[in-house]
Chain A
Amino acid sequence: MKRRPWFLFTTLVFGFAFFYVPILSMIVYSFNESRLATVWGGFSTKWYVSLLSNRQVGAALMLSLQIAVISASVATILGTMAGIALARYTRFKGRLLFSGLVTAPLVMPEVITGISALMLFILMADWIGWPGQRGFTTITLAHITFSMVFVTTIVQARMMQADRAIEEAAMDLGSRPWQVLWDITLPTIFPAILSGWLLAFTISLDDVVITSFTTGPGNTTLPLLIWSKVKLGVTPDINALATLTVLVVGTGVVIAGILLNRAEARRIRDERMAYRSHD
């Protein structure tokens, strides 16, 4: 029998264990009959049922979804514009600074992003009287600013691989630049835009830190609700809620990944065919 690379194998097992044992145990305990989160009392789906009838949870979920959809959509529009600009206009003044500024939030601690957003809103309220109260709008704005980065990065990467010649061909056939953008560029990078949206959506949906800085009274998103409940102790209904969140977020990430992969495979195939007998 072939000798197993046991070291690699062990690392793999431990790696996956670190990632997924906590999540798995949470999922398992969400089906716990017992009221005590850490004592197994038999299988039950009653916590899921009780979640459905919980008004508070329902409202928080709706708020989270609204914020996620709006912020992901705006972030996708802005992020796509920035991504195209960064990939196409390689010679404008201050490009390096701009691309640095766009990607800096990727590595910025969320606490810093949250505090700075909060500071801005307070100062703005002082100077121009808006936003009078923090809540839906301020959370959405903050989410747009930090999820836009992810869209920009994805779109920029896709644009870098795109064949410039097909845009030139459209221009050559009589289309002005904005028509080329609409007819050719956007359809070809559409999978990247869609996966950018999904990523922005999931990031917004599960954000705690930035949301907690920019929220106001009465605006509790789902992650904030979970966070505040956990402070009083982990209960099985929180486990159930978290399990559902994992399910939604996981699905989003998987779909985004599949879209990107498939688009990449198609691009490689097209390119290979286009240059099939080139030497």
Chain B
Amino acid sequence: MPASPAPFLRIEGVSKNFGTFQAVRDVSLTIDRGEIFALLGGSGCGKTTLLRMLAGFEDPSAGRIFLDGQDMTGVPPWERPVHMMFQSYALFPHMTVEKNVGYGLKHDAMSAAERADRVRAMLDLVQLAPFAQRKPHQISGGQRQRVALARALARQPKLLLLDEPLAALDKKLREQTQFELMSIQERTGVTFIVVTHDQEEAMTLADRIAVMDRGQVQQIGPPAEVYEHPATRFVANFLGSITQFPATVTAVSGPRARLTVPAFGTEVETIALPGLAPGESLTLGLRPEKVALHRDRPDGPNVISGEVKDLAYFGKDSLYRITLPGGSLMAVHAVNARRDGEARPDWYDRVWLSFEPASAILLRD
């Protein structure tokens, strides 16, 4: 195995206090060159503060940031090879699209011709060449977003920070822009850090996600890992939906564990966590799409009876809320694979639920 190179970006024990409020608490993480990394969390989780420290607009109260081996402490924003795409885009209203994109280049040693070439290449990259002479208020929201991107990329930064890059776009444009962003990242090879509160945006864009809550990183990993193997109850709740039940371990045998779940009125089988012992209390979580819905009692482990309390029909699929023997509710997502309504359970129908042992998520408190 080759010696792993020093990480491209290293955040080392970074905290930020505003008076008595701690916006970011002891965050440490590393990001590789060419990666798309997402900082995901609700408002006030510290993700934007962390981003602003990377850009140099805020100084960490503690900890250090290394970019490409260089300590960034005390380096002002205008000397960092880090550019940012602002949430409001922050285009200069008195300059044309072309002037906006070329603004940063005046600080680089290059001839006027080179500068013009670079601006043209950037405008081509974001397909805005015909709009070069327009002012920001004369173009659409999606076009403004692309001007902001081209402007931030023009000086060929080592690191590009994107603050809620798609938040101001409407839904249709958002999907299209998502793929455009990814293809531009691939072509330029610039490392992207995306701050977002939108889990779908983070999951589709990013190679890895850091989920943040109250200033702390809760979990870091690829989208599928964070979704399927959430490390904390917060992460499990924040990404996708999940129904959580208190459970107690009754037996552990090798990789399997048996638990009693009062809400289910029965014992269930799951994959054991490392170091799990009988008698331990924990939380069992099930995502709606991991539970199968049956009209007749199926064979196999982990079968629970229930009654349909609520259902929402979306066309391609339906969301059910099932009353369990213990009285609590579980959300179940069912794909409507058949056209005949007979196959679909209706209100107050008696149904059976089942799930694979590997599908349950065990969470220690």
Residues of A within 8 A of B (CB): 163, 165-166, 168-176, 183-184, 187-188, 266, 269-270, 273-278
Check A273 against B170 for contact (C-beta < 8 Å): no
Q: List 29 A-B contacts (CB under 8 A).
A: A163-B88, A166-B92, A168-B77, A168-B84, A168-B90, A169-B84, A169-B86, A169-B151, A170-B92, A170-B103, A171-B57, A172-B78, A172-B82, A172-B84, A173-B104, A173-B152, A174-B155, A175-B78, A175-B103, A176-B78, A183-B92, A187-B94, A188-B93, A266-B93, A266-B137, A269-B137, A270-B136, A273-B141, A278-B167
Knowing A163-B90, A166-B91, A168-B57, say if A277 contacts B169 (CB, 8 Å): yes
State in angstroms the CA–CA spacing of A278 and B88 once bound together.
10
Chain A residue at minimal CB-CB distance from B81: A174
Pairwise interchain contact A270-B107, C-beta atoms closer than 8 A: no
Nearest-CB residue, chain A, relative to B79: A174
B352 at the interface (CB under 8 A from A): no
Cα-based distance from A274 to B91 in the complex (angstroms): 9
Report yes or no: A166 in contact with B107, Cβ–Cβ below 8 A. Answer: no
A276 to B89, CA, bound (A): 12
- Inter-subunit contact B107/A175 (CB<8 Å): yes
B92 touches A184 (CB 8 A): yes
* Chain B positions near chain A (C-beta within 8 angstroms): 55-57, 76-79, 82-84, 86-94, 103-104, 107-108, 136-137, 141, 144, 151-152, 155, 167-170
Which one of B77, B84, B141 contacts A276 once the chains associate, using CB atoms below 8 Å? Answer: B141
Indicate if the CB atoms of A277 and B104 lie closer than 8 Å: no
Which A residues touch B168, using CB under 8 A? 274-278
| Complex: A177 Cα to B76 Cα, angstroms | 10
The distance in angstroms between the C-alpha atoms of A70 and B79, with both chains bound, is 39
Q: Given the complex of chains A and B, what is the CA–CA distance between A165 and B77 in angstroms?
A: 13
Interface contact A270-B83, CB-CB below 8 Å? no
Which of chain B's residues have a CB closer than 8 A to the CB of A169?
84, 86, 90-92, 151
Is there contact, CB below 8 Å, between B78 and A171? yes
Q: Name A's interface SS.
A: helix
Measured between alpha carbons, how far is A235 from B86 in the docked complex, in Å? 65
Contacts of A184 in B (CB 8 A): 92
Contact at A277–B77, with CB atoms within 8 Å?
no
A222 to B93, CA, bound (A): 42
Q: How many whole Å from B72's CB to the nearest CB in chain A?
A: 14
Given contacts A166-B93, A270-B93, A278-B167, contact A173 B88 (CB under 8 A): no
B86 x A165 contact (CB < 8 A): yes
Q: Which residues of A contact B170 (CB under 8 A)?
A: 277
15 additional contacts (CB under 8 A) given A166-B93, A169-B84: A163-B88, A165-B90, A168-B77, A168-B86, A170-B92, A171-B76, A172-B56, A172-B57, A173-B78, A174-B78, A175-B78, A269-B137, A270-B136, A277-B170, A278-B167
Query: Once bound together, how far apart are the Cα atoms of A135 and B137, in whole Å?
Result: 50
**B88 with A275: CB separation less than 8 A:** yes
- Asked if residues B141 and A174 are in contact (CB atoms below 8 Å), the reply is no
Query: Is B155 a contact partner of A173 (Cβ separation < 8 A)?
Result: yes
Chain A hits for B86, CB < 8 A: 165, 168-169
Contact partners of A269 in chain B: CB under 8 A: 137
CA distance A266 to B137 in the complex (A): 9
> Which chain B positions have C-beta within 8 A of A173?
78, 83, 103-104, 107, 151-152, 155
Q: Tell me if A270 and B137 are in contact (CB < 8 A).
A: yes
Distance in angstroms from B97 CB to nearest chain A CB is 14
| Contact assessment for A274 and B89 in the assembled complex, using a CB-CB cutoff below 8 Å | yes
Shortest beta-carbon distance from A259 to chain B in Å: 15
Complex alpha-carbon distance, A188 and B95, angstroms: 10
The distance in angstroms between the C-alpha atoms of A11 and B108, with both chains bound, is 64
Docked complex Cα distance between A275 and B168 (Å): 6
Of the candidates B77, B83, B88, B104, the one whose C-beta lies within 8 Å of that of A274 is: B88
In the complex formed, the residue of B with least CB distance to A167 is B90
Cβ-neighbour of A273 out of B83, B137, B151, B152 (below 8 A): B137
Q: How far apart are B101's CB and chain A's nearest CB, in angstroms? A: 10
- Across chains A and B, which 6 residue pairs bring their CB atoms closest together, nearest first? A173-B104, A174-B107, A165-B90, A169-B90, A166-B90, A187-B94
Question: Is A165 touching B103 in the complex (CB atoms < 8 A)?
Answer: no
Is the Cβ of B77 less than 8 Å from the Cβ of A171?
yes
Task: List, in ascending order, chain A residues with CB within 8 A of B55's CB.
Answer: 168, 172
Shortest Cβ distance from A177 into B: residue: B78
A183 vs B137: C-alpha distance when bound (angstroms): 19
Kindly list chain B residues whose C-beta atoms are within 8 Å of the C-beta of A277.
141, 168-170
CA distance A187 to B93 in the complex (A): 9
List residues of chain A with CB within 8 A of the CB of B76: 171, 176
**Contact A172 to B88, CB < 8 A, known contacts A188-B93, A274-B168, A278-B167:** no
Cβ-closest chain B residue relative to A277: B170
- Complex alpha-carbon distance, A188 and B93, angstroms: 8
Bound Cα distance from A277 to B104, whole angstroms: 28
Which A residues are CB-close (under 8 A) to B89? 274
A156 to B91, CA, bound (A): 22
Residues of A within 8 A of B91 (CB): 166, 169
| In the complex, chain B residues whose CB is within 8 Å of the CB of A175 | 78, 103, 107
- Alpha-carbon distance A104/B169, docked complex (angstroms): 46
Q: Nearest CB to that of B141 among chain A residues?
A: A276
Q: Which of B77, B94, B136, B170 has the most CB of A within 10 A?
A: B77
Shortest B36–chain A CB gap in Å is 20
Q: Quick one: closest B residue to A187, CB to CB?
A: B94
Instruction: Give CA–CA (A170, B100) in the complex, Å.
Output: 10
Kindly name the residue among B55, B89, B92, B155 whose own CB sees the greatest number of chain A CB atoms within 10 A: B92
The complex places the Cα of A276 from the Cα of B82 at a distance, in Å, of 28
